[in-house]
Structure 1
Amino acid sequence: MLAFSNSPPPPEEKIKHKSGSESYIALVWRRLKRSWTGMSGLILVVLLLMMAIFAEFVAPIDPKATDTGFAPPQLISFHDKDGNFVFQPRVYALVETSDLDPVTFQPIVGPDYDNPRLLGLFVKGAPYHLFGLIPSDRHLFGTTDGGPVHFLGTDKFGRDVLSRAIYGSRISLMIALTVVAIVTIVGTTVGMISGYFGGAIDAWIQRFVEVVLAFPQLPLYLALTSLIPVTAPTNVFLAFVIIVMSALGWAQMSREVRGKTLALARIDYVRAAMAIGATDRRIILQHIFPNVMSHVIVAVTLAIPSVVLLESFLGFLGFAVKPPLISWGLMLQDTSTYSVIGSYPWILSPVAFVLVTVFAFNALGDGLRDAIDPY
């Protein structure tokens, strides 16, 4: 005779029950945590997004404030002018010397060892409104006396390169995320419709996709962006750039999703759903779309760095956002002259932000590709 007990199950059974009911998202997260490249990419992406959202707080000084023209980066030092070690880090203010630059014939700027500026965290500085609403004057880092500090030097107008790069991450990432969102929605929808229905619908859609893919993108970008007058408002120019990038980028996504849909439409459970009379809408949304999403998520993480690179390249050619907005592409316009790069190499600093962004999203995409893959 069997005896039943109400005592709780042993710890081993609890663990098995918990792992048996693990959701797909939890399984993907557990796989992603095992990939050091995927986790490093995720951490960098989160830091980049936080930097863009709280740019006013992270930037040490006002990006529009001017100083002494081209000035080299200020190095952090733990020694005073006599070489003695000090615990609190400091930088030395930059002043103009009596020497002239042999290329530009401008006064050379050098450190003032007699006036050190102490560094600190959560210091007071230029006032700002966080999110345009919350007034504050606290910055993540900077000098304790509120004076200017240039860790990456200044541009030709004396504006801090680091602060401008931090503010520029907002526009560059906003353009990338908006373009990729539009490309994903349009490309996924068109690809699933084309691959599922097939026949004449698929033929006509694919001919249109081939026409879009046949356009030489770079000349077309330059031609379309040049149609906007110089006096056009910044918002109009920004919207036009997003529309142009989206209009030329959705076709490749739709072609990839179509290929996945063609394979999924022949799987047994999809054919079984057709046989019992399920509607096309239900089959697409309930059976095909969830299986396509794994590929779409990876494609999104790999498409974002491509848009960031494209925006930076167009900005280098002179087709970036207009001031007072700041983007990495706009900052790279100052590097168009070789003599300027040779004399003031620190103005290439926005390239480092672009490289970090590209690496972060590519690493995250690589980790997600392995975590999402059911095989």
Structure 2
Amino acid sequence: MTIDTLETAETDRDVMTANRNETYLALVWRRLKRSWSGMLGLVLVIFLLVVAIFADFLSPADPRVTGESYQPPQVVTVFGEDGQFVFPPRVYPYGETGELDPVTFQPLVGIDYANPQIIGLFVKGAPHKLLGFIPMDRHFIGATDGSVIHFLGTDKLGRDVLSRILYGSRISLLIALTVVSVITVVGTSVGMTSGYLGGPIDAWVQRLVELVLAFPQLPFYLALASLIPVTAPTKVFLGFVIVVMSALGWAQMSREVRGKTMGLVRMDYVRAAIAVGATDRRIIFRHILPNVMSHVIVAVTLAIPTVVLLEAFLGFLGFAVKPPMISWGLMLRDTSNYSVIGAYPWLLSPVGFVLVTVFAFNAFGDGLRDAIDPY
């Protein structure tokens, strides 16, 4: 045997020893890092969560303050009126040029190069409470003179679109995470219990599951939403959205977990636990639950974008949260008119954040599924 063969054998033995010493989570993480789409999704998910938590600090303006309506997005540039390079970056606001439109006789609005807004970090602005209880007036980015910069323009009431999108991420992600959490707990518990016990209990539970799955979700939701008074508090609408989505969503998770459980019941380690007299509760939560968690985790990451899309769609129809709450779907109600979209296309900005959210969780869930699956 040559020296190269010996070195190769020792290297292979070291790799095998390292793999045996790795925990399950370490193996999953190592597989996940090989998927560029999964890692990109993970980074975007973390970014979205940070944006939702620190929306007050990241927002350049107070989303409730009104101003000039339908102001177009202001462009950040490092070049002056004469094309000369300037730093730090600055924004030139829009102002009246002093001329009138020859047809409508309305004042013409153009770029005001005489009054630039200099961009800065950690600038003073509208007072807010960081994390809901820390009073401060610093914002991550804005104008150094305290004026408001509309990076994505303003809506029909003159409110900053970017700030409303950042604040809206809280409601949209809160609804998605809460609904998916309820669906996961209820669906997993019902599915494991039904699949493990079998017999008449399983038969009756599956008839209930089939009844829930048979409901046409959208018409059923709209019918229930019409029963809530318009004057009801905004929290009532928020709670209603979460309850209805959870009540109609747990059945599919239950059916999937039941199928996994029925396969695990036939495994030798479960039969051995039954033979030694282990209780049903111990078998379900100590032997079956850890083995279905891989499927549940992947199902959760794939269910979150579905709920985000559903909330955006219902908010667009006006059956989700109500003002003064802010969500991406509620913001898209302003784009229900083709003329508005053609004249003020920046109002479609929330669509971009919805697409990023859906892609992030789908890509992360797809990469996590491949990392968890041992085959």
Shorter-chain TM-score: what band?
Answer: over 0.9
Partner of 1:175: 175
Matched residues in 1 for 2:147 and 2:359: separation? 34
* 1:74-223 aligned within 5 A: 74-96=74-96, 109-223=109-223
Give the count of matched residue pairs. 365
Q: Deviations over 1:199-257 (max 9, x none)?
A: 11111011111111011111111111121111111111110110001000001100111
Matched residues in 1 for 2:229 and 2:142: separation? 40
* 1:21-60 aligned within 5 A: 21-60=21-60
Read off the aligned partner of 1:328 and give its amino acid letter. W
Partner of 2:3: none
Read off the aligned partner of 2:94 and give its amino acid letter. L
Change (3 A) 1:101 1:227: farther
Matched residues in 2 for 1:65 and 1:208: separation? 48
Change (3 A) 1:319 1:108: farther
Q: CA deviation at 1:137?
A: 1.2
Q: CA deviation at 1:192?
A: 0.6
Range 352-361 or range 322-331, more displaced: 322-331
Range 18-27 or range 350-359, more displaced: 18-27
Change (3 A) 1:95 1:189: same
Gaps of 5+ in 2: 1-9
Q: Deviations over 1:273-295 (max 9, x none)?
A: 21222211111111111010000
Equivalent residues of 1:191, 1:256 under 8 A apart: yes
Matched residues in 1 for 2:72 and 2:109: separation? 7
Change (3 A) 1:128 1:261: same
Equivalent residues of 1:184, 1:253 under 8 A apart: yes
Read off the aligned partner of 1:196 and give its amino acid letter. Y
TM-score, normalized by length of structure 1? 0.93
* 1:316-327 aligned within 5 A: 316-327=316-327
Q: CA deviation at 1:166?
A: 0.3
Q: CA deviation at 1:96?
A: 4.4
TM-score, normalized by length of structure 2? 0.93
Read off the aligned partner of 1:36 and give its amino acid letter. W
Matched residues in 2 for 1:189 and 1:272: separation? 22
Range 124-133 or range 199-208, more displaced: 124-133
Q: Deviations over 1:158-201 (max 9, x none)?
A: 11100000000000000000000000000001111111111111
Change (3 A) 1:251 1:340: same
Matched residues in 1 for 2:326 and 2:101: separation? 31
Matched residues in 1 for 2:317 and 2:194: separation? 37
1:61 matched to 2:78? The reply is no
Partner of 2:20: 20
Equivalent residues of 1:72, 1:109 under 8 A apart: no
Q: Deviations over 1:36-84 (max 9, x none)?
A: 1111111111110011001110011111122210011111111111221
Partner of 2:5: none
How many percent of aligned residue pairs carry the same amino acid?
A: 71
Change (3 A) 1:107 1:163: farther
Matched residues in 2 for 1:312 and 1:95: separation? 34
Matched residues in 1 for 2:103 and 2:328: separation? 29
Read off the aligned partner of 2:139 and give its amino acid letter. H
Range 265-274 or range 165-174, more displaced: 265-274
Q: CA deviation at 1:111?
A: 2.3
Partner of 1:4: none
Change (3 A) 1:60 1:170: same
Change (3 A) 1:360 1:109: farther
Partner of 1:5: none
Q: CA deviation at 1:327?
A: 0.6
